[in-house]
């Protein structure tokens, strides 16, 4: 294929952007790690701040021209302290993984031991040797796991922590259905002098909204997380602590800048500051509705005949539902995700207990943050589950299901839980 003109290349990118907007507008977006922006946050992200730098902390910058941004970051930090009920907040991080790398830089030295959830059991890749833990050169030991409860085996994990004496005991998951038994495990960690770090990337909004668990009151010294999952802001991250140790605060700040960021994407920091203000106003109801929808989705999928993980525990206490679609390592989850996309439902394949191959797992991980943000309620989850059954159990032509999904989704095109409700998918021209 010959090289097209430079303008045509740029036009093709714009068309692909608009096509992506139409794709999500007309589909059921159910990736648990995704969300959409409110109109005010979107304006912040598309502002002059995009091209600016503000190295350092408010009123202590290395560059001139930062006075207005100082105001923005100070407002955001104050709001974050209220939202997360904490004494320290860093809102500069560009992602949850970035928050983890910076925090591990602050809390541990290369060669130190760290305990975390295995990726095979639902741990995040940043908790693994392939991610932030390996980047920092830490000696990883993973927790014994309770497959039935989808959480660390409390007694065995506490014993392991006491035996291994890690520098950092890291908790939190990517597949995160239920609160971590944090109090018992943090007690064991503190006995051996470990710092307790809780990665709330997936559940940040549920924690802040009082709908999940309260890690800072249950023993976590540091909480990291994303600003764009159940917390409905722009892509970015947080580092939070309720410790009164100002030396720890300084280490955490320097772990982010200059540790892992030079520019920390000022437009996104401004977006976070607005999202934090919106969360103060609407966050509790949004978080509660996310969980109600997830529980209703689990019940509805089970009623349709799907194998939904953790049925005996009520399927979920978070924003996620996990389903099994075939034998271990069979690729049934991969195949189900592909069929669902043809039917207008966007999900991701996921390893479940027993799976060993990330590219051919047996499960799906489903999330309700975006469906909730556009106004869906528990009763609508029955319709969603019906679409799943038509595509995956009844074997209906996916294109027929997709047409009905598009019609159903047309009722849900407005962003809720924000100061100025507006179009959820404006990039569709």
CA distance 193 to 187: 10
Span between the terminal Cα atoms of the chain, in Å: 28
Helices (H), 234-309: 246-256, 266-303
> pLDDT value at position 370?
98
Helix axes 378-392, 398-409, angle to 10 degrees: 170
CA distance 135 to 107: 14
Per-residue pLDDT of the chain (429 residues; tens, 9 = 90+): 557 799 999 999 999 999 999 999 999 999 999 999 999 999 999 999 999 999 999 999 999 999 999 999 999 999 999 999 999 999 999 999 999 999 999 999 999 999 999 998 899 999 998 999 999 999 999 999 999 899 999 999 999 999 999 999 999 999 999 999 999 999 999 999 999 999 999 999 999 999 999 999 999 999 999 999 999 999 999 999 999 999 999 999 999 999 999 999 999 999 999 999 999 999 999 999 999 999 999 999 999 999 999 999 999 999 999 999 999 999 999 999 999 999 999 999 999 988 999 999 999 999 999 999 999 999 999 999 999 999 999 999 999 999 999 999 999 999 999 999 999 999 776
Alpha-carbon torsion angle 366, 367, 373, 376, nearest 10: 50
Contacts of 325 (CB under 8 A, 6+ apart): 306, 307, 332, 333, 335, 336, 362, 363, 364, 392
CA distance 154 to 222: 21
Structure tokens at 355: 């799976």
Hey, is 157 helix, strand or coil? helix
> pLDDT value at position 120?
87
CA distance 105 to 99: 10
CA distance 26 to 412: 10
Contacts of 5 (CB under 8 A, 6+ apart): none
Query: In order of start, what are the domains of the chain with their CATH numbers?
Result: 42-276 (3.40.640.10), 283-409 (3.90.1150.10)
CA distance 158 to 198: 16
Per the document, the length of the chain is 429
Other residues' Cβ atoms within 10 Å of the Cβ of residue 111: 10
Phi-psi region of 20 (alpha: psi -120 to 50; beta: other; left: phi over 0): alpha
Helix (H) or strand (E) holding 238: strand 237-241
- Closest to 30 measured CA to CA, from 387, 393, 398: 387
Structure tokens at 146: 């309770």
> pLDDT value at position 2?
57
pTM > 0.85: yes or no: yes
Alpha-carbon torsion angle 412, 304, 35, 207, nearest 10: 120
Beta strands 139-142 and 168-171: pairing type? unpaired
Contacts of 85 (CB under 8 A, 6+ apart): 216, 242
Other residues' Cβ atoms within 10 Å of the Cβ of residue 124: 25
């Amino acid at each position: 294929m010959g090289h097209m003109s430079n303008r045509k290349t740029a036009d093709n990118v714009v068309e692909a952007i608009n096509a992506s907007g139409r794709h999500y507008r007309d589909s059921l977006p159910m990736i648990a790690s995704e969300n959409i922006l409110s109109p005010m946050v979107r304006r912040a992200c598309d502002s002059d701040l995009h091209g600016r730098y503000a190295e350092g902390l408010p009123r202590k910058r290395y560059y001139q021209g930062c006075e207005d941004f100082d105001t923005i970051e100070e407002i955001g930090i104050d709001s974050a302290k209220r939202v997360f009920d904490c004494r320290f907040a860093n809102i500069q991080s560009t992602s949850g993984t970035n928050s983890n790398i910076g925090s591990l830089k602050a809390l541990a030295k290369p060669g130190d031991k760290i305990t975390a959830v295995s990726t095979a059991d639902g741990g995040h890749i940043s908790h693994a040797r392939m991610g932030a833990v390996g980047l920092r050169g830490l000696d990883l030991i993973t927790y014994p796991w309770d497959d039935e409860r989808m959480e660390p085996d409390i007694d065995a994990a506490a014993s392991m922590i006491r035996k291994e004496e890690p520098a950092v005991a890291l908790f939190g998951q990517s597949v995160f259905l239920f609160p971590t038994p944090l109090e018992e495990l943090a007690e064991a960690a503190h006995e051996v002098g470990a710092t307790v770090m809780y990665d709330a990337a997936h559940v940040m909004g549920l924690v802040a909204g009082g709908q999940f668990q309260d890690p800072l009151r249950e023993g976590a010294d540091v909480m990291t997380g994303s600003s764009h999952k159940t917390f409905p802001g722009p892509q970015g991250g947080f580092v939070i602590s309720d410790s009164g140790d100002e030396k720890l605060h300084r280490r955490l700040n320097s772990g982010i800048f200059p540790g892992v960021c030079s520019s920390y994407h000022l437009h996104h920091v401004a977006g976070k500051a607005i999202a934090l203000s919106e969360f103060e106003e609407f966050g509790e109801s949004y978080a509660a509705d996310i969980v109600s929808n997830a529980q209703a989705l689990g019940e509805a999928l089970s009623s349709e005949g799907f194998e939904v993980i953790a049925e005996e525990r009520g399927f979920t206490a978070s924003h996620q539902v996990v389903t099994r679609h075939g034998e271990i390592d069979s690729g049934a989850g991969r195949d189900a995700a592909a069929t669902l996309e043809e039917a207008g439902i966007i999900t991701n394949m996921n390893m479940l207990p027993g799976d060993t191959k990330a590219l051919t797992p047996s499960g799906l991980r489903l999330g309700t943050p975006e469906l909730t943000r556009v106004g869906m309620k528990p009763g609508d989850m029955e319709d969603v589950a019906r679409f799943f059954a038509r595509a995956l159990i009844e074997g209906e032509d996916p294109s027929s299901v997709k047409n009905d999904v598009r019609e159903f989704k047309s009722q849900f095109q407005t962003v809720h839980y924000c100061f100025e409700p507006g179009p959820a998918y404006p990039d569709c021209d």
